[in-house]
Amino acid sequence: MTKHSLETLSFDNTYARLPESFYAKLSPTPFSEPPHLVSFNPSAAELIDLDPEQAKRPEFAGVFGGSMLVPGMEPLAMLYSGHQFGVYVPQLGDGRAILLGEARNERGERWDLQLKGAGLTPFSRDGDGRAVLRSTIREYLCSEAMHGLGIPTTRALCIVGSEHKVFREQVETGAIVLRMAPSHVRFGSFEILYYRKQYEQLKVLADYVIAHHYPHLVETADKYARFFHEVVERTAKLISQWQAVGWAHGVMNTDNMSILGITLDYGPFGFIDDYDPGFICNHSDHNGRYAFNQQPYIGLWNLSCLAQALLPLAQKEELKAALDRYTPLCEGRYMELMRAKFGLIETKEEDASLIQDLLALMHLHHVDYTNFFRTLGLFQAGPESQNEPLRDFFLDRGAFDQWARRYKDRLHEEGSRDEDRMVHMNRVNPKYVLRNYLAQTAIEKAQKKDFSEIDRLLILLQNPYSDQPGMDAYASPPPNWGKHLAVSCSS
């Protein structure tokens, strides 16, 4: 495989060939202070055949810090609208993100290279177009953590920082994260064309997305309906994965929903510590619209907004039929994932109550979600087994014992073997997730110019299912100071 330098990256900017009404062409705005590399992710560099040695060049921070371009880049800010907290906003667009271009690797795959925090665009509204170091670290680490967990997501190549001052709740330093995705087209990219009654443009966008990302549908007669069916399926499966791993997005507006069914736009996200189905990770979400247990419903609501936008291209009945598949798909995939977490191989009708009753106990007793399921792999189904490590999670051990007897019977029914089951469960129950307090620790060190914790977490979270020597502390529940960290949209 050819390893590219910055200057020899191969670009194929298909989005820039669309009509100019879809975007605004502009260059990033350099920081007022010199840029410096905060962290670099070699595994993301592999996706675009970029030689990791390039990160050592001073030009690297210049290119991905917004102060210089390399041949082939055609920077632009994408236009879209969206429903924000249930209310339609007629125009949004990339207010602080600039798409540099689409890098193409030797396998023919295209990856959008997008700078987040690259300065003002025509769509910035009242914003300053900047991101702060704090938010870029969170997105950088979480997108790679989600990839490590096997959840579809944007990726992150690097963080570039600066002493450039940015004003949020307080004065902070500016930074840029270079994020990557096969496409950054969103539900809102279609909504703006529908509500502006630009139906020809709507067709152009749909044809573009289908040609580049759903090419098997190009020649089908009902391609727009089939396209929507596949978006429904991908979105249902994605959200079921969020639910199974205990992750909340925080701002599931339609402009934050990917047309490819990947996790997009990391702001006030959060992994659940103590299990709480009503967990709200965004302290700006006063009504709990985007609470953890609301995510499956919001996925359907957002898809209905996309269906509305596609009405000029597909029959209403076909779009409704696709929407009707969402809940069975989401619930069905969630149950598959949860059976795997419980080490169950066969499918039985009583599994739903077995799973839900344990989750209710975990909620009642404030049990750590990630650690409990990792420890559940140690469950002994023998007649004399007491399973003390699991009982210790619960204040009322008797209540757990009652549930454990049901679980033991269920395991016996399918002839489950303890050793084999533990191996399978450890492959789906992570030991490490990006808890908010871990991200906060990395942020506080980085604000003192110590970036080592970012790199340490990056490596750790790329292999979340493996026991990593000397890293057990990173699997600990949060200390008291880290239990209720306030995370806002500026995060």
pLDDT tens column, 313-343: 999 999 999 999 999 999 999 999 999 999 9
Q: pLDDT above 70 covers what percent of the chain?
A: 99
pLDDT bracket for residue 369 (50, 70, 90): very high
Domain extents in the chain: 15-184, 188-340
Indicate whether 489 pLDDT > 70.
no
d(CA 386, CA 380) in angstroms, rounded, equals: 8
**For residues 122-143, average pLDDT:** 94
| Mean pLDDT for all residues in the chain | 96
pLDDT bracket for residue 491 (50, 70, 90): low
Residue 422, pLDDT score: 97
**For residues 388-400, average pLDDT:** 95
Residue with tokens 């806002």: 488
Residue 384, pLDDT score: 78
How many CA within 13 A on the CB side of residue 164? 26
Residue 270 phi, psi (nearest 5): -170, 135
Residues 178-212 pLDDT 10s: 999 999 999 999 999 999 999 999 999 999 999 99
d(CA 428, CA 421) in angstroms, rounded, equals: 11
**For residues 90-101, average pLDDT:** 96
Cα–Cα nearest to 23, from 205, 154, 200, 181: 205
d(CA 410, CA 412) in angstroms, rounded, equals: 5
Instruction: Note the pTM of the prediction, 2 decimals.
Output: 0.97
Q: Give the count of beta carbons closer than 10 Å to the beta carbon of residue 125.
A: 11
What are the residues facing 25 on neighbouring strands?
A: 76
* 434, amino acid identity: L
Cα-based distances in Å from 82 to 29, 40, 188, 297: 26, 32, 5, 17
**For residues 385-410, average pLDDT:** 95
pLDDT bracket for residue 482 (50, 70, 90): confident
d(CA 65, CA 180) in angstroms, rounded, equals: 15
Residue 127, pLDDT score: 84
- Concatenating the DSSP letter of every residue in 473-488 gives GGGSPPPGGGTT----
Q: Tell me, what DSSP letter sits at residue 28?
A: P
Residue 314, pLDDT score: 98
Cα–Cα nearest to 301, from 42, 41, 85: 85
d(CA 134, CA 490) in angstroms, rounded, equals: 9
Residue 126, pLDDT score: 81
Residue 2, pLDDT score: 82
**For residues 157-181, average pLDDT:** 95
Residues 239-276 pLDDT 10s: 999 999 999 999 999 999 999 999 999 999 999 999 99
Least confident of 39-43, 245-249, 413-417, 478-482: 478-482
Q: Give the count of beta carbons closer than 10 Å to the beta carbon of residue 105.
A: 18
Give the residue numbers annotated as catalytic, written as ranges. 255
Q: Give the count of beta carbons closer than 10 Å to the beta carbon of residue 122.
A: 14
Residue 412, pLDDT score: 96
Indicate whether 141 pLDDT > 70.
yes
What are the residues facing 39 on neighbouring strands?
A: 159
d(CA 236, CA 388) in angstroms, rounded, equals: 37
d(CA 343, CA 475) in angstroms, rounded, equals: 21
pLDDT bracket for residue 490 (50, 70, 90): low
Indicate whether 142 pLDDT > 80.
yes
β strands within 62-152, DSSP E: 76-78, 82-84, 87-89, 97-104, 110-116, 131-132
pLDDT bracket for residue 131 (50, 70, 90): very high
* 127, amino acid identity: G
pLDDT bracket for residue 419 (50, 70, 90): very high
**For residues 468-491, average pLDDT:** 83
**For residues 32-58, average pLDDT:** 97
Indicate whether 488 pLDDT > 80.
no
Strand 171-181 versus strand 247-248 pairing type: unpaired
Residue 106, pLDDT score: 95
What is Dmax (Cα atoms) for the chain? 71
Indicate whether 89 pLDDT > 60.
yes
Cα–Cα nearest to 464, from 423, 431, 426: 431
β strands within 345-390, DSSP E: none
